[in-house]
């Protein structure tokens, strides 16, 4: 295989695991045998190669801060020469969708010296591997340390889970590496970045590397595979920053190249659904109960309208799946809830748990699942009508578009809908026509926090997924302009009365096409909409509608992150009025 073929193979493999624009960090690692041979003086290495330091003197510390004393040298290694080889070198970075051969040529030189080539299985914030620098956990690596099981037998076992595994790689020696794709990924909302890299030398006292949920899921998969008779390396699967072999490079022991056995970019392991940890609709009352619209005033923070009394349970359902054997389930749920708050950095002030009713954030999260999973089980189809109503309003879908989208969702798992697809679509349309004026409440926007890097990263991920040509400009517009408008003038945003000055937009946007290209893209994707095109320089500016729910959704906010006290009060008042009326 020549370098061009190898580059195309890496693109195909890496884009099955990462987004095309993700940066993948590639680490040359010296094998134990070669490292010991260099220490014993039986082999040698050059001092540097391609600007990477390969060896260092044990007489000086790596940071050159002070000298080693003789006792430290003796404790460090009884046998040593005047040099010590570095086991893991500084990484090379490569875009997942790149077809460049430049880095491949350099990596071949390291392979010739006895290095193995690895990459980090999950995206890092910069080129230093640690669980605290993992940006998000997209995959769990499954690797067997049972050398008695043949390669074909390992692959056959992993094939039982091919819908969950995005890639399988033969290591070139005695094992197969499988990558289980987590859907949705587990985000690290407080990762260490390049500008805060000094924190890597500090103790992790703030829970920065709390990957307990990831480890629970890894333990679940270890048990799943062991049932089929294959013992996995626990240490590998539990580490979200694990290095694993990059295909196409020779194994230092056998000389055989690692090979891609299969790729499945469409795979996913929907751990939210399997563990049954998400909110679910209460199907005991049939279709959702929709309230009547109320007036729009400054204290209600209403956009459009929303159901006043959807039939939603007030508590989480009991955990099943991987958590079925965890003692007191409610205690575990409370533990998970607190852990998620800590992971997101959510303050306990200004947060009121909104348990009795679902918000548009819950509906949008459910809609994202429906688009790819279809109706999950029997007897919940009618309860999901309200999810479609919310999605149609926020994404500005016509009634016909909503019906066609619902048809597509029903056709994914028709065995779960309890009727024909046409009948299911007809029921949705009838319910929508009967309840067109459902109400939709906003949270208390005055308590919205300033956007941190994690929220901005969530937004960037969505823009990259949508192949946005002006990502940086849109991030600046939302972060520096629209977010302040949402926090201080929510009603004007919802009513289409926000004026966006072209001079301010021009200063924020320096990319290709300027602010006009960014605004056009935002309008195409229903983030903003021009409501008044009249313009007079220095006198009158254009007016826009700002889609607050969609912005909150793409920033990754969840119901528990926000203050819904005003919404709760308004719904209670409306319920009392309906009871009197």
Does residue 572 lie within any of the structural domains? no
SS3 of residue 172 by DSSP:
coil
**Which of 49-63, 384-398, 490-504, 549-563 has the lowest average pLDDT?**
49-63
CA distance 432 to 397: 13
Residue 136 belongs to domain with CATH number:
3.90.920
Residue 506 belongs to domain with CATH number:
1.10.10
- 458 and 543 share a domain? yes
Nearest to 399 by CA among 368, 423, 432, 366: 432
- 394 and 492 share a domain? no
Does residue 466 lie within any of the structural domains? yes
Does residue 566 lie within any of the structural domains? no
CA distance 338 to 350: 16
Does residue 539 lie within any of the structural domains? yes
- Summarised one tens digit per residue, pLDDT across range 453-507 is 888 888 988 888 888 888 888 888 998 889 989 988 888 888 888 888 887 887 7
- 468 and 436 share a domain? no
Q: What pLDDT, on the 0 to 100 scale, is given for residue 211? A: 87
Nearest to 9 by CA among 79, 85, 96: 96
- For residues 47 and 434, which has the higher predicted lDDT (pLDDT)? 47
- Summarised one tens digit per residue, pLDDT across range 362-405 is 899 889 888 888 898 888 888 899 899 999 989 988 889 999 99
Domain coverage including residue 465: 451-560
SS3 of residue 230 by DSSP:
coil
Q: Evaluate whether 230 touches 143 at the Cβ level (below 8 Å).
A: no
- 26 and 164 share a domain? yes
SS3 of residue 181 by DSSP:
strand
- 530 and 472 share a domain? yes
Does residue 507 lie within any of the structural domains? yes
- 256 and 306 share a domain? no
- 193 and 87 share a domain? yes
Mark which of 420, 443, 466 sits at the end of a domain: 443
Which residues does 306 contact at the CB level (< 8 Å), separation at least 6?
360, 390, 438, 439, 440, 441
Does residue 580 lie within any of the structural domains? no
Q: Evaluate whether 258 touches 251 at the Cβ level (below 8 Å).
A: yes
**What count of other Cβ atoms lies within 10 Å of the Cβ of residue 497?**
15
Mark which of 426, 443, 460 sits at the end of a domain: 443
Query: Looking at the whole model, is its pTM more than 0.85?
Result: no
Mark which of 443, 461, 496 sits at the end of a domain: 443
- 139 and 243 share a domain? yes
| CB half-sphere exposure, 297, CA atoms < 13 A | 7
- 44 and 190 share a domain? yes
What is the pLDDT of the chain when averaged over all its residues?
Answer: 78
CA distance 504 to 581: 49
CA distance 202 to 224: 36
CA distance 385 to 369: 14
- 140 and 88 share a domain? yes
SS3 of residue 366 by DSSP:
helix
CA distance 386 to 436: 11
Which residues does 36 contact at the CB level (< 8 Å), separation at least 6?
none
- 466 and 362 share a domain? no
Strand blocks (E) in 407-522:
439-441, 498-499
Overall domain count for the chain: 3
Q: What pLDDT, on the 0 to 100 scale, is given for residue 133? A: 92
Does residue 59 lie within any of the structural domains? yes
| CB half-sphere exposure, 88, CA atoms < 13 A | 14
Please say if the pLDDT value at position 317 is more than 80.
Answer: no
Strand blocks (E) in 501-555:
528-532, 543-546
DSSP assigned state of 451: P
Does residue 114 lie within any of the structural domains? yes
**What count of other Cβ atoms lies within 10 Å of the Cβ of residue 106?**
16
Please say if the pLDDT value at position 276 is more than 60.
Answer: no
Please say if the pLDDT value at position 309 is more than 60.
Answer: no
CA distance 15 to 225: 26
Please say if the pLDDT value at position 287 is more than 60.
Answer: no
Q: What pLDDT, on the 0 to 100 scale, is given for residue 89? A: 94
- 422 and 547 share a domain? no
């Amino acid at each position: 295989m020549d370098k061009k073929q190898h580059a195309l193979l890496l693109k195909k493999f890496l884009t099955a695991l990462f987004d095309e624009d993700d940066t993948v960090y590639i680490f040359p690692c010296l094998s134990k045998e070669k490292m010991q041979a260099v220490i014993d003086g039986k082999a040698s290495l050059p001092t540097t190669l391609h600007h990477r330091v390969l060896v260092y003197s044990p007489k000086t510390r790596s940071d050159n801060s002070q000298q080693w004393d003789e006792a430290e040298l003796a404790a460090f290694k009884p046998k040593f020469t005047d040099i010590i080889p570095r086991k893991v070198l500084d990484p090379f970075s490569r875009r997942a969708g790149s077809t460049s051969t430049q880095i491949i040529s350099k990596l071949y030189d390291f392979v010739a010296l006895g290095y193995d080539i690895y990459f980090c299985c999950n995206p890092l914030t910069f080129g230093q591997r640690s669980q605290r620098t993992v940006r998000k956990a997209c995959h769990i690596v499954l690797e067997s340390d049972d050398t008695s099981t043949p390669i074909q037998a390992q692959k056959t076992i992993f094939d039982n889970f091919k819908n969950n595994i995005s890639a399988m790689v033969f290591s070139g020696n005695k094992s197969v590496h499988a990558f289980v794709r987590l859907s949705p990924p587990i985000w690290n909302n407080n990762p260490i970045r390049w500008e805060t890299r000094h924190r890597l030398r500090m103790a992790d006292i703030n829970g920065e590397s709390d990957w307990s949920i990831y480890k629970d899921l890894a333990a679940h998969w270890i048990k799943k595979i062991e049932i089929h008779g294959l013992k996995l390396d626990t240490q590998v699967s539990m580490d979200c920053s694990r290095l694993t072999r990059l295909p196409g490079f020779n194994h230092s022991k056998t000389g055989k190249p690692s090979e891609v056995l299969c790729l499945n970019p469409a795979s996913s392991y929907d751990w939210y659904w399997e563990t049954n940890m998400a909110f679910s609709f209460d199907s005991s009352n049939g279709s959702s109960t929709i309230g009547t619209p109320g007036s729009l005033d400054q204290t209600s923070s209403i956009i459009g309208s929303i159901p006043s009394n959807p039939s939603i349970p007030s508590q989480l359902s009991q955990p099943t799946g991987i958590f079925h054997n965890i003692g007191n389930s409610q205690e575990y749920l409370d533990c998970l809830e607190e852990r998620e708050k800590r992971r997101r950095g959510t303050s306990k002030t200004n947060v009121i748990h909104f348990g009795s009713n679902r918000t548009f954030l819950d509906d949008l999260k459910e809609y994202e699942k429906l688009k790819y999973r279809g109706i999950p089980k029997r007897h919940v189809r009618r309860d999901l009508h309200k999810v479609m109503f919310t999605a149609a309003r926020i994404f500005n879908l016509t009634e016909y578009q909503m019906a066609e989208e619902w048809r597509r969702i029903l056709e994914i798992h028709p065995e779960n809908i309890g009727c024909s697809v046409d009948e299911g679509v007809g029921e949705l349309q009838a319910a929508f026509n009967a309840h067109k004026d459902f109400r939709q409440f906003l949270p208390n926007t005055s308590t919205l926090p300033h956007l941190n890097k994690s929220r901005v990263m969530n937004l960037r991920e969505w823009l990259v997924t949508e192949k946005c040509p002006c990502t940086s400009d849109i991030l600046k517009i939302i972060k520096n302009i629209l977010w302040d408008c949402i926090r201080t003038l929510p009603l004007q945003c919802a009513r289409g009365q926000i004026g966006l000055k072209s001079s301010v937009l021009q200063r924020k946007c320096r990319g290709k096409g300027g602010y006009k290209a960014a605004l056009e893209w935002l309008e195409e994707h229903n983030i903003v909409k021009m409501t008044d095109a009249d313009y007079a320089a220095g006198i009158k500016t254009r007016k826009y509608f700002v889609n607050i729910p969609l912005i909150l959704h793409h920033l990754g906010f969840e119901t528990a992150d926000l203050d819904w006290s005003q919404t709760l009060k308004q719904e209670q008042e409306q319920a009392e009025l309906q009871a009197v009326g």
